[in-house]
């Protein structure tokens, strides 16, 4: 089938076969293949992929739906598990913990956000903690899982979930999917890009064995090296490491546990934090830390000391730089994944930002004349997505009472982005939270994290004064009890995985 437009993109080239490259290839195979002459993905087995990136957030379900992927087959192929949120340990202070759940927490009432109602009544008898109003958190705390239900009367209508999966198996799964839908895979190391002397567009990339792969649109998924956007297009990198000083990680798998936790755990350590991602066949672990505050050997020692099960391999070091390219789309090059930018995996947002990039590119898919308006809109939307995620992650570090190490003293007292300053001030005064543009994290997410980190608003929302406090507290107790009762009845996570 032809698109019937003489100016349409004909040949799409994807440079790199990590998670970003194969996600793009799968989406292109699904929605673009019929209208293009060719879709080629180039990857180099000799270079390999980053091999981490195993925790996701709920919008991944939308990506799988677009591809028409069956959940059971997906979990089996990727050794995947369900994820209901993230447990944060020792973040606000050593010895504290809170849960950042997916899905809705409580119900807004009379136009007042639920966290405001809860905060107003937090000391009333039996009202309990904020997380008791989240079905996802209550299921997670009990090691349980069930799919959401549409019926708004069921507490399960508030539950949302995502996946943990094996990164290598995920890329392999998408690779088969994409190849079945007409994507051509080209093995080889790219050594050079060929640019048009007049327009500066990439005309082709050249491989080590002299193969030349030409295209109209190039998707740079080459990882941290950023071969096309960073090197060939020379788009500068905006460094955010003064706000997010962690720049290294050391990762190690460990043995799977009999009971698989349906959530990611993030445990704060002296100069960073450690993740635990439970899969069916193993547990993924990694320690993200700031090299200015901790030696590599000490980071590795802490990682191993904090494992819940026997290590299953040697620890693997990784280095990164936090920030984003000034533009994610320049001329005929769009960068997805690590080649465009990186934010540490504290809220599992990188794969989501790849997905966001793909969906916005499809929504603004260009012709060969590459008009500025599409490119500019893409850059505006993507830059704001990165900045919104950045602010959310910075808040985890900055809103803390920790003063026990130089690292925590730095992040607690550092200057923060103006956008975050305003947000925190609004919350500090009267618990107000606003969601800007189409930013990823909801009012409920911000409330869970700010409350969990130990930030208590000075006052309540004045609108609460008009409410019947006793009646509301009674309704809240009933809701809380319904969550507890439902969590007790749900199947164990491991059984739920078996049942898809
Ligand atoms: C410590 C850490 C933990 C993370 N955890 C999470 C997480 O829990 N959740 C999440 O969403 N994200 C996470 N991420 C991010 C996630 O890993 C990446 O966003 C994701 O894997 C995408 O990577 P990529 O495809 O952009 O790059 P890569 O995986 O690096 O792939 C690059 C590809 O380009 C190819 N390539 C490079 N140079 C050449 C060349 N010259 N010729 C040919 N091919 C070439 C490589 O062979 C490879 O195929 C984490 C990242 C780090 C560093």
Q: Would you say 216 and 38 are in contact if contact means Cβ atoms under 8 Å apart?
A: no
Say if ligand 1 is within 6 A of residue 211 CB. no
Say if ligand 1 is within 6 A of residue 290 CB. no
CA atoms within 13 A on the CB side of 367: 9
Say if ligand 1 is within 6 A of residue 242 CB. no
> 49 Cβ partners below 8 Å, 6+ apart?
17, 18, 19, 167, 168, 171, 223
> 275 Cβ partners below 8 Å, 6+ apart?
55, 264, 265, 266, 284, 285, 286, 288, 345
Q: Can you tell me whether residue 250 is helix, strand or coil?
A: strand
d(CA 175, CA 41): 10
- For position 57, what pLDDT does the model report? 98
Across the beta sheet with 212-214, the strand order is 190-195, 202-207, 212-214
Tell me the residue length of the chain.
500
- For position 500, what pLDDT does the model report? 44
Say if ligand 1 is within 6 A of residue 357 CB. no
- For position 326, what pLDDT does the model report? 98
Closest CA to 125 of 472, 484, 449: 472
- For position 2, what pLDDT does the model report? 46
Mutate to test the pocket of ligand 1, among 13, 14, 15, 16 (most ligand atoms within 8 A of CB): 16
- For position 105, what pLDDT does the model report? 98
- For position 268, what pLDDT does the model report? 98
Task: Compute, in angstroms, the gap from residue 223 CA to the centroid of ligand 1.
Answer: 5
83 is catalytic: yes
Q: What is the DSSP secondary-structure string of 150-212?
A: S-TTSGGGG---EEE--HHHHHHHHHHHHHHTTPEEEES-EEEEEE-TTT--EEEEEETTS-E
d(CA 22, CA 17): 6
- For position 1, what pLDDT does the model report? 42
- For position 499, what pLDDT does the model report? 55
Mean pLDDT by 10 residues, the chain (500 residues): 74 98 98 96 96 96 98 97 98 98 96 97 97 98 97 96 97 97 97 96 97 98 98 98 98 95 98 98 98 98 97 98 98 98 97 98 97 97 96 98 98 97 97 91 97 97 96 97 97 85
Closest CA to 223 of 364, 14, 379, 11: 14
Say if ligand 1 is within 6 A of residue 345 CB. yes
- For position 436, what pLDDT does the model report? 86
Task: Compute, in angstroms, the gap from residue 43 CA to the centroid of ligand 1.
Answer: 12
- For position 4, what pLDDT does the model report? 55
Say if ligand 1 is within 6 A of residue 351 CB. yes
Closest CA to 218 of 373, 24, 484, 442: 24
Say if ligand 1 is within 6 A of residue 319 CB. no
Tokens of 199: 């327009």
Task: Compute, in angstroms, the gap from residue 167 CA to the centroid of ligand 1.
Answer: 9
Task: Compute, in angstroms, the gap from residue 386 CA to the centroid of ligand 1.
Answer: 17
- For position 437, what pLDDT does the model report? 78
Task: Compute, in angstroms, the gap from residue 93 CA to the centroid of ligand 1.
Answer: 32
- For position 144, what pLDDT does the model report? 98
Task: Compute, in angstroms, the gap from residue 435 CA to the centroid of ligand 1.
Answer: 29
Say if ligand 1 is within 6 A of residue 186 CB. no
Mutate to test the pocket of ligand 1, among 21, 52, 56, 162 (most ligand atoms within 8 A of CB): 52
| Secondary structure element (H or E) that encloses residue 65, with its range | helix 60-67
Cβ burial of 143 (10 Å; 0-12, 13-18, 19+) is middle
Q: Would you say 500 and 71 are in contact if contact means Cβ atoms under 8 Å apart?
A: yes
Q: Which atom of ligand 1 is nearest to the CA of 43?
A: 44
């Amino acid at each position: 089938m032809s698109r019937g437009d003489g100016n349409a993109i004909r040949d799409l080239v994807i440079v790199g076969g990590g998670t970003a490259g194969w996600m793009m290839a799968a989406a292109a195979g699904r929605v673009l293949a019929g209208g293009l002459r060719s879709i080629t993905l180039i990857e180099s087995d000799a270079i390999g992929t980053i091999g981490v990136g195993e925790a996701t957030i709920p919008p991944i379900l939308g990506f799988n739906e677009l591809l028409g992927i069956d959940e059971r087959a997906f979990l089996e192929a990727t050794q995947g598990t369900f994820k209901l949120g993230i447990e944060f340990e020792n973040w606000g202070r050593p010895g504290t913990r809170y849960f950042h759940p997916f899905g809705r927490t409580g119900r807004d009432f009379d136009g007042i956000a639920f966290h405001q109602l809860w905060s107003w009544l937090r000391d009333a008898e039996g009202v309990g903690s904020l997380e008791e109003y989240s079905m996802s958190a209550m299921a997670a705390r009990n090691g349980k899982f069930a799919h959401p239900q549409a019926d708004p009367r069921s507490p399960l209508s508030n539950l949302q979930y995502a996946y943990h999966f094996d990164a290598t198996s995920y890329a392999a799964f998408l690779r088969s999917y994409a190849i079945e839908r007409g994507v051509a895979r080209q093995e080889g190391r790219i050594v050079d890009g060929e640019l048009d002397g007049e327009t500066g567009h990439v005309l082709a990339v050249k491989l080590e064995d002299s193969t030349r792969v030409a295209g109209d649109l190039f998707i740079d998924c080459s990882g941290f090296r950023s071969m096309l956007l960073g090197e060939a297009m020379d788009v500068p990198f905006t460094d955010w490491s003064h706000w997010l000083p962690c720049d290294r990680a050391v990762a190690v798998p460990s043995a799977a546990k009999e009971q698989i936790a349906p959530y990611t755990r993030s445990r704060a350590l002296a100069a960073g934090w450690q993740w635990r991602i439970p899969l069916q066949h193993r547990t993924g672990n990694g320690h993200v830390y700031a090299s200015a505050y901790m030696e590599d050997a000490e980071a590795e020692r802490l990682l191993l000391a904090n494992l819940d099960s026997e290590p299953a391999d040697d620890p693997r070091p990784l280095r990164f730089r936090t920030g984003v390219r000034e533009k994610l789309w320049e001329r005929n090059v769009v960068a997805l994944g690590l080649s465009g930018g990186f934010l540490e995996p504290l809220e599992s947002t990188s794969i989501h930002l790849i997905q966001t990039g793909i969906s916005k590119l499809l929504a603004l898919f260009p012709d060969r004349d590459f008009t500025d308006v599409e490119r500019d809109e893409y850059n505006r939307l993507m830059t704001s997505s990165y900045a919104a995620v950045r602010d959310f992650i910075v808040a985890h570090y900055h809103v803390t009472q920790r003063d026990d190490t130089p690292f925590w003293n730095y992040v607690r007292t550092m200057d923060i982005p103006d956008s975050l300053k305003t947000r925190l001030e609004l919350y500090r005064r009267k618990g107000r939270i606003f969601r800007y543009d189409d930013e990823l994290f909801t009012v409920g997410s911000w409330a869970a994290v700010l409350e969990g980190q130990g930030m208590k608003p000075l006052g309540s929302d004045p609108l609460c004064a008009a409410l019947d406090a006793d009646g509301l507290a009674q309704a809240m107790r009933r809701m809380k009890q319904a969550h507890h009762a439902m969590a007790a009845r749900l199947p164990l996570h491991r059984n739920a995985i078996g049942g898809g």
